[in-house]
Chain A
Amino acid sequence: MSVLFIVVPLALFVVLAAVVAYIWSARAGQYDDLDTPAVRMLHDDDAAPPTAAPGELH
């Protein structure tokens, strides 16, 4: 069972990595808006180039 002395610190290290990843994602604003991205990912992103000359919309 003395393997615990290696495995437990190892587990703590994995936890640390997960916490760091979480902190990064929270600080990067990934939880700011939980509604729109769910809708956005449904759009097929075949952003076709404008067929007409882009410019003022008049």
Chain B
Amino acid sequence: MRTESAAGVIGTPCTHCGLAVPPALVTAGDGPQFCCAGCSAVYDILQSNGLSQYYYFRERREAAVRSSGRSYEEFDHPAFAELYVQQAEGGKLRTELYLEGVHCASCVWLVERVPLLLPGVARAELDVRRSLARAEWDPAVVSLSQLARALDQLGYAPHPFRGVARDAMRKREDRAMLTRIGVAGAIAGNVMLAAAALYSGEFSGMEPRYAALFRWMSLALALPAVFFPGRVFFTGAWAALRTRTLHMDLPIAIAIGAGITRGAINTVTNSGPIYFDGVCILIFLLLVGRFLQQRGQRAAADAAELLYALAPTTARVVGADGTERELPAVALLPGMEVQVRAGESFPADGIISVGDTSVNAALLTGESVPTSAGVGSSVFAGTLNVMAPVRVRVEESGETSRLAKILRQVEESGQRRAPIVALANRMSGWFVAVVLLLAMVTFLIWLPRDQALAWDHAIALLIVTCPCALALATPLAVTVAVGRAARAGIFIKGGDALELLSRPGEMVLDKTGTLTEGVTSLVMWWGDESVKPFVLSLEAGSSHPIADGFRRAWPGMAADSPSDVMHHAGGGISGTVDGRAVVVGSPRFVAARAHGGESLVATLAANPLTPVLVAVDGVIVAAAAIGDRVRDDAGAALDALRHRGWHTTLLSGDDPAVASAVGAQLGFAAVDAIGSATPEAKLALVQQRRDAMRASGRPVVMVGDGVNDAAAIAASSVGIGVHGGAEACLATADVYLTTPGIEPLVRLVEGSARTMQVIRRNIGFALCYNAAGVVLAMTGTISPFIAALLMPASSLTVLLASYLGKTFVPAATTSSVAAQSESVAAMERAA
């Protein structure tokens, strides 16, 4: 991969992380190359501990290296232990840590090798989907802070995970639920086998003793199904009765109870139908529907937990006598003084009372450039103290801090449920009442004729109308769609996002990092192509952002060593390459040293990007525009969205001139390209648009790449984080894109619309089957055989419709958009 020419060191990848190594850090020879001290340190740790196998994993891209170098002392504090650490067997301790930067197989391998690196650590296991590491260690040998430091040095900054207790509870719940489903499934399958024998016996004749055998076998199987997995419906129905509400569990419990009782009586008396097959399938399908729905709602709650993990956990409180003691951040009170060291996050909102520093408020404001703060400046919990230790007087802490408010918003947004689910719940009251009424009417109609028939028909109605298919309709479709979307590079956390995105509304897009690539690079080049190597030669040794832009644009291009290189501050760079005098710099600087190229100068003046002129031997031969490049697929994707009826707005913290220039390029109306938007302004705009849209029920979608948009993302109907976004943004967003570019947005809204179609179709099917069942049962034309066919048939229809419905398609098949974006990009380059 290395391109070795005279001075052509551009494109040397870092041995550890694979990023380009700055020319100044490249060492001679074939040895390992590192882009930073962090990578070098991790490499040394791995080599000296026999873990160099790490480098043989194919899936090892974007290796994590951002070691924070923190001491993690607070992890050893008793207050911390009380909150997060649990006892394990053999005097060991156990905790769960949320790790930043986990993404692939090699991460699992590396994290699980920590016990090799650190004696005393008994176990380290990584749940790669949730980035949670479970660790067990012997407190006599090693401390948690040592373990945390080891993880940090490997590039996985650990955070305590608040949900440990809840996680354990959930795990128990999940296991119990899975056990119930498994048992119910096994029983349902076997009862169906017996039922198949009985039904075929009914058609072709069967000796009574064999029929009795299968009936008793069904009873023996059905009883445990009702009393073990089916118990949940009885407890649910009982709770509904006590609170005097009509709950879906009520008719289910009545149907199961009546079916099993009547079936048992009929088995003993050896007459009439048994309902065991229907009852068992009912229990199984309803449990599956419930499980799917629960899992879907959990993903959103998980996200909020993980966001909490990113907030600081302890604070150093300064007493009246000047002594410092550590307290959990939640225990801080207004008026307390806390000491915050450089590199630490502020534990609470407050005002600086001693010291001057600079603060990186990216978590809240998105401004990634630190701002200076002195005595009297306000600081906020979660923001980073960059430069020097300061003392802060606490104003708001814990639940009332600005960070906590944002987190709460996130949590609330996670708890809102898909309106269609809410609708199903509202409907269920009516549904229950109608079903019970119909069963009663059926019973009364048939009672004068024959009491046994009246019972049979009423029970058949109860079983056949049981909302299996209805209960499966929404969660199944959502689960299938979310799974498909994940494979297509779109990670959806809640089913409600799908419903909201299915109708076009307002889409607000961040500029930097979302519509643009977020890094300085060469956007346009006009004039002589052959001078590119000269420019690169001069810029190769410069650390200026413009030089970065050139290097990034032409990776691997060979370049000669320049001589007589002169850097002119604020102007440009000059030197001799290959015997020719080359000048690269701002138009004024170059124009003073060369002539010609009037058309190039005019072109540059009309462009909002940073202009650069190139002169060779005293003649201006080329011009370049350096800036934040618009993503190649942005134009096509936005056009596709607008075509589908979405109204798009560009929202940027950048200068209005830049915002409107990018907006014009991407086809935004002038009023829809808004610049100089602070994070608060972004939040306000999103809220105001939401209020405006409330009447029509259309969504306001915020698309952003990071922390600066986190508040607006949380406030929007659906927040979308794009690839490469910050950790806080990914945790806040309802949806995030795991592939670069914004073209997946188009697939997201298309897929959502199709998913809603599938859901509506499913509900339609389910209701049709129910209506047919009711008619058949009331007229007394239903036989247990037809009832037994009808129920699984309706559920199977829903299942098939969910899986066959084309919701999300992988990236490869949407080549039309990709091709379109390519052609647009080509046009841009040609321009």
Q: List chain A positions with a Cβ less than 8 A from chain B.
A: 1, 4-5, 8, 11-12, 15, 18-19, 22-23, 26-27, 29, 31-33, 35-36, 39-40, 42-44, 47-52, 54-57
Contact = CB atoms under 8 A, between A and B. Distances in A.
B175 A31 contact: yes
A32 B174 contact: yes
A47 B150 contact: no
B272 interface: no
Contacts of B48: 50-52
A49 B104 CA distance: 24
Nearest to B152: A57
Instruction: Sort A-B residue pairs by CB-CB distance and give the 3 closest, nearest first.
Output: A52-B48, A35-B129, A48-B50
B186 A22 contact: yes
Contacts of B301: none
The range of chain B's interface size is 35 or more
Interface stretch (B110-118, B589-597, B692-700): B110-118
A1 B211 CA distance: 12
B210 A50 contact: no
Given A26-B182, A52-B49, A57 B118 contact: yes
A25 B104 CA distance: 27
A23 B182 CA distance: 8
B210 A54 contact: no
Contacts of B119: 54-55
A31 B177 CA distance: 11
A23 to B, nearest CB: 5
A8 B213 contact: yes
A44 B117 CA distance: 18
Interface string B39-70: 00000010011100100000000000000000
A11 B49 CA distance: 54
B570 to A, nearest CB: 43
A40 B171 contact: no
30 contacts: A1-B207, A1-B210, A12-B190, A12-B221, A18-B186, A19-B182, A19-B186, A22-B182, A23-B179, A23-B182, A23-B183, A29-B175, A31-B175, A32-B171, A32-B175, A33-B129, A36-B125, A36-B126, A39-B105, A39-B128, A40-B108, A44-B53, A47-B113, A50-B117, A51-B48, A51-B50, A52-B48, A52-B49, A54-B116, A56-B146
A56 B179 CA distance: 44
Contacts of B716: none
B217 interface: yes
B49 A36 contact: no
A49 to B, nearest CB: 7
Nearest to A22: B182
A35 B149 CA distance: 26
Contacts of B118: 54, 57
Interface string B142-162: 000010011001000000000
A52 B30 CA distance: 24
Nearest to A1: B210
Given A5-B213, A19-B186, 14 more contacts: A4-B210, A12-B217, A18-B186, A32-B175, A35-B128, A36-B108, A39-B108, A40-B109, A43-B108, A51-B48, A51-B49, A52-B48, A54-B118, A57-B117
